[in-house]
Amino acid sequence: MWDFSIARALAMMAQTLPYILLRVAVYFSITFAYIIATGVGAGIGYTLGFAGSDEFQGQATFVGGILGFGLVGGGVYVLREYLLYMVKAGHIAVMTELLSGQGIPAGQSQISYGAKIVKERFAEANALFVLDQLIRGVVRAITGILGAISAILPIPSLQGLTRFISTIIRISVTYVDEVILAYNMRLRSTNPWVTSRAGLILYAQNGWVMLRNAIWLAVISWIVTIIIFLFMIAPAGAILYYFPREWGGYGFAAAIIFAWAFRSALLVPFGIACLMQVYFKTIEGQTPDAEWEARLTQVSDKFRKLTERAQTAVGMAPAPAAASGA
């Protein structure tokens, strides 16, 4: 079925409890900010709506809620680099140390130690964010290559099934960019562009193994997320029972946001811990394959950009651009 140990992943989460608690604090704070801002916006709209008809009041309530939600969403978007730098990357750094058999130095907190490792690898949050976006782009290209078989199946009746499988494949690679960052941390790389490039080639040449495990993780993650969502509908609906009728739909939205927070705070690090196990075990003793390197260079502009960054970082002249691709 899968090649990771759920028990070991849970143990890694327990060992990194300070980061888990930090993630819970961050993501549930964001959740409450969404709910409060949406409620305040809807309340203002509802109050202003008294100046018009019932239909106008309902529309004003809806628009106010959307504006409040959008305001917080804009703030989260602005802070996304900082969240990646201080929360996600720091947690990955500590988990990588633990998975490699290293401990946290005595007298130093996990969070400060994780931040120290990240700052040693990436002097600025923007550099990590740019690298993460390039990695995501290359992963999409690898996923496209692995799923290309669906496009050449000659049986028309299977086309719907293959499109569904391709969709599942795209959804399942959520944690891969974090795993490549973990590869950087494990090698203590001073040039993350070069290391990430090698790590992506290693991922690609073991793509089916990684994808099979990623799909299992996606299934587990979404089943748990849906269960949490269903549990949250009842209390959210009970709270909104005492609010005006026009606010009824916000209970559904609140349940979705709480499920997202739970997934981001707990299920994402669980998935990363699982996929890290598979990746490091699978690539042990391997070197990047030249054939996969050429294939990625041909199909992925993000891989070509990553190559240019890597060459520039080691003082080499960038190679000529390859033929255009996806």
> pLDDT for 32-58, tens place per residue?
898 888 888 888 888 888 887 877 877
Instruction: Match 């502009």 to its residue by tokens.
Output: 301
HEC secondary structure over the chain: CCCCCHHHHHHHHHHCHHHHHHHHHHHHHHHHHHHHHHHHHHHHHHHHHHHCCHHHHHHHHHHHHHHHHHHHHHHHHHCHHHHHHHHHHHHHHHHHHHHCCCCCCCCCCHHHHHHHHHHHHCCCHHHHHHHHHHHHHHHHHHHHHHCCHHHHCCCHHHHHHHHHHHHHHHHHCCCHHHHHHHHHHHHCCCCHHHHHHHHHHHHHHCHHHHHHHHHHHHHHHHHHHHHHHHHHHHHHHHHHCCCCHHHCCHHHHHHHHHHHHHHHHHHHHHHHHHHHHHHHHHCCCCCCCHHHHHHHHHHCHHHHHHHHHHHHHCCCCCCCCCCCCC
Q: Is the pLDDT of residue 249 over 90?
A: no
Residue at 229 is within a domain: yes
The span from the first CA to the last CA of the chain, in angstroms, equals 32
Q: Is the pLDDT of residue 241 over 70?
A: no
Residue at 1 is within a domain: no
Average pLDDT over residues 230-258: 70
pTM (2 d.p.): 0.82
Residue at 324 is within a domain: no
Question: How many structural domains does the chain have?
Answer: 1
**Containing domain of residue 177, as a range?**
6-313
Residues making up the chain, counted from first to last: 326
- For 108, phi then psi, to 5°, come to -125, 135
How much is the pLDDT for 325?
Answer: 40
Instruction: Match 């709480």 to its residue by tokens.
Output: 258
Residue at 231 is within a domain: yes
Average pLDDT over residues 3-31: 93
Residue at 66 is within a domain: yes
Residue at 322 is within a domain: no
How much is the pLDDT for 321?
Answer: 39
Residue at 215 is within a domain: yes
Q: Could you give the C-alpha distances from 29 to 165, 257, 264, in angstroms and in order?
A: 35, 11, 12
Instruction: Match 């998975």 to its residue by tokens.
Output: 99
Average pLDDT over residues 62-79: 87
Q: Could you give the C-alpha distances from 317 to 22, 135, 198, in angstroms and in order?
A: 42, 22, 19
Average pLDDT over residues 56-68: 84
Q: Is the pLDDT of residue 22 over 60?
A: yes
Q: What's the pLDDT band for 11 if we cut at 50, 70, 90? A: very high
Q: What's the pLDDT band for 305 if we cut at 50, 70, 90? A: very high
Question: What whole-number percentage of the chain has pLDDT above 70?
Answer: 83
Residue at 217 is within a domain: yes
Nearest to 162 by CA among 151, 172, 154: 151
Name the average pLDDT for the chain.
82
How much is the pLDDT for 283?
Answer: 94
Q: Please say whether the beta carbons of 173 and 143 come within 8 A.
A: yes
Question: What whole-number percentage of the chain has pLDDT above 90?
Answer: 31
